[in-house]
Amino acid sequence: MQLWYDPTEARQGSKLPSNVISAGISLPKLEAETGADFLISPLTGPPLGQLNKPGREILRVHCQAGILVQRKSGMDFMSSIGKLMRIQWRMQQWGRAWLLVTGNIGCGKNGLAYMDGRRSHVSYQQAMGALDYWQLRGGGVTVLRRDGLVEKWIGLMCERVMKVNKDPVVEVEMLKQVVVKKSGNKKENAATQTLATFPGIGEGTARNIAMKYNRLADGLVFLSGDEKMKGVGVVTKSKAREWLGLNGGERLLLGKDK
């Protein structure tokens, strides 16, 4: 299990508990790339560094296996309501989008929403609607009463993501996206198109890997490891590891493989 955070979360004046920062790894441009403040991944392996092309491929694997979290603390949630749809859309281009709101949301006699006793400029119904819409668009929502509870929540969420990832019964449909090729009506697993971008792997081989391993995360673990498969030789795997930014004996691991 790994936790990454955007460096802005560690800025001076942030209400995020320091233990969360010390437990995670700073990943520059995480929010710029994905729209998220945190990435919780059940995968283990080399830490993410620069988000160049290979780095983005590794990032995508982690995002699809774990969850992306956007944190809104106090009045920041109220002032961001109009931006949430766009933020969620960006996050969902990478993986599962989770909204974490901290603060005590109340309703005044005038119908306006209050956050920690402070009156906002939006109605209580707008605030509740923003949470409902995030979930209706396929995301997850958690509301905590104060920032001090974030550390405990992240710890529990790490355990839950690991459990879901290990459970053979649970199918995470986000990892089996189906896309339509522009050239016709033929449908392919999203993993096929991603694997086909690797040097030395054609569309046919990529499809075979995707069919055997089903999830993109498992296909990438296969390419980084020593397991054999017809049509994928030592040279191809070596190029794949280089493409993923792995050195020497480094390989990607699923949490259950640790």
Q: Which residue in 126, 57, 123, 46 sits closest to 94, CA to CA?
A: 57
Q: What is the mean pLDDT of residues 173-189?
A: 41
- What is the mean predicted confidence (pLDDT) over 191-207? 80
> What is the rounded average pLDDT of the residues 67-89?
92
Reported as a pLDDT band with limits 50, 70 and 90, residue 26 is confident
Residue 185, pLDDT score: 36
In terms of CATH architecture, what is 2-166? 3-Layer(aba) Sandwich (3.40)
Q: Which tokens belong to 232?
A: 């994928």
Q: What is the pLDDT averaged over residues 57-82?
A: 89
Half-sphere exposure of 151 (CA within 13 A, CB side): 10
Domain(s) of CATH 3.40.50.10130: residues in the chain: 2-166
Confidence of residue 48 (pLDDT cuts 50, 70, 90): low
Confidence (pTM): 0.64
Q: What is the mean pLDDT of residues 182-209?
A: 70
Please give the full DSSP string across the chain, using - where no structure is assigned: -EEEE-GGGGSTT--S-HHHHHHSEE-TTHHHHHS-SEEEES-BSSPP---SHHHHHHHHHHHHHSEEEEEEETHHHHHTGGGHHHHHHHHHTTSEEEEEEES-EEE-TTSEEEETTEEEEEEHHHHHHHHHHHHHTT-EEEEESSGGGHHHHHHHHHHHHHHHHH-SS---GGGG-EEE-TTSS-EEEHHHHHHTTSTT--HHHHHHHHHHH-SHHHHHHHHHSS--BTTB-HHHHHHHHHHTT--TT---B-GGG-
Extract the tokens encoding 213.
């391993």
Q: Where residue 97 falls among pLDDT bands split at 50, 70, 90?
A: very high
Span 129-139, mean pLDDT?
A: 93
pLDDT confidence bin for 140, thresholds 50/70/90: very high
170: pLDDT strictly greater than 50: no
pLDDT at residue 15 greater than cutoff 60? yes
